[in-house]
Chains A and B, each alone.
Chain A
Amino acid sequence: MIEILLARGPYLLVVLLAAVGAYLMMSRRTLLKAVVGLYVFQTSIILLFVALSYRTGGTVPIALDDLPMHNPLPHAMMLTAIVVGVATVGVAVAILRRIQAESGSIEDTGR
């Protein structure tokens, strides 16, 4: 059991975060919660890529010697994905401000 958790740990966390994020997106009283849920969901995917890059016995990806390295490419991609995620949150919050200005609240009215 412990071994399975250790071997699959990051992936279990990915599933957990994705579930929490999806739940937050759907069960919302205020629209801000949907933004948080979306961000948590995106974080689960970032973790998925980072977990993929792990190599047993690996080291930092700087080619100085012949040691096995963790794969640097997913990290590079996820830097971009993080930027995309932050930009999404920025646009979402800007839209929330417009909703607040228009209807006086950011409660979810079901529309």
Chain B
Amino acid sequence: MTMLEHDPVRTAGFPLIDDDVEGQRFRVHRSTMTSPEIFAAERDKIFNHSWLYVGHESEVSAPGDFVRRPVAGRQLFMVRGAKSGRVNVFHNTCTHRGAMICRQKSGTSKSFPCFYHAWSFDSEGDLKGVPDRDGYGEKLDFTQLGLKSPRVESYRGFVFCTFDPDITDLVNYLAGAREYLDLIIDSGGGEMEIVKGTNEYCISANWKLLCENSIDGYHASTVHDTYFKYLVALGTDLRSGVQGTSHDLGNGHAVLEYDAPWGRPIARWEPLFGEHAREEITKLRAELVDKHGEERAFRMADTNRNMLIFPNLVVNDIMAVTVRTFMPSAPDQMDITAWELAPRGELPSLRQRRLDSFLTFLGPAGFATPDDVEALESCQQGFNSGGVEWNDISRGMARTPAGNDEHQMRVFWREWARKMGEHAYGSPR
């Protein structure tokens, strides 16, 4: 039935992603970061047609535990069903007249009453109570008026949802990212948890700049000089630099993988951990070798990975593990929410090293993240000045991608263009 004149493939206009493999040049038009039309199209084409991270199952470990979560600008909440034990995700709106059901950030409850007219739901989303039910005719089917869910699937504790009923299942969607999640989870003994405490901050910059920045090895030595100075003060030898490569994991996911220049709670000892932790970390490493073999244990213990799961989930396994998601509220504004992931039952002494490592580098008051915030805002302000139309992301096109190349960003942008379809074209000039 598709008629030619309705073919969504645009034939006029210019591609906003200029991917010239032969000419070894990859450019991104800056309107992708500033245009309100593109921002609106992204909500539809990207955020309504991807699997999006909601939270981690450990955040709702007991029956009735709930957390409120905005996902892609929508109000949702995640709750552990008291009967099923399953993690449910509901649209946070009463099926009666719309008020938000879950009005606390987190907590535990088996009953979720709406404060407006006291319709009441249980942790499985079933409608349990309607005051003055006599006022309704007997034909009205109250079983149809339970809380509504988007599609929800989880992978080894990571809970995702999607608003696209036709999208492939989560495991297929994760593609090559799955193996990296496995690596991180297995290195922690198979069971991970979110540490209490959330970093909720914002950046006045386009959200895609944080996609790039989260997996960018090129900026580390310039932007994060003061952090590296801190590591050196603690006795870390950084002379080897960042040696590694990046991989296309499929579906727009990408990872930067490199030898750790710093200590890792699992399991690479550095002087900053202190002599007393040396034995524990050495033991942990030996256990990894026993369990997973030398090669996989080496990757777990001695390499870092910065991974982007398209479109807006970052899992960076560096000096600690951060899970970070972000959502634009305007073309030049995003909200970031970031958590710390750690092995459940970790030795308190190692947990302390992990917490220290996390907050010194990561987070909006650390020795590094504020400078990333500055870099991204600076880019955004630069875009607004006009005069230069394109960003250049060509680094590494002519060689096997190195740890400080931009291959992984091209992976993201190619998927972005694919999903945006005709919206990835600018007006003809």
Q: Decide whether A and B are members of one complex.
A: no
Residues of A in contact with B (beta carbons under 8 Å apart): none
Chain B residues engaging chain A, CB cutoff 8 angstroms: none
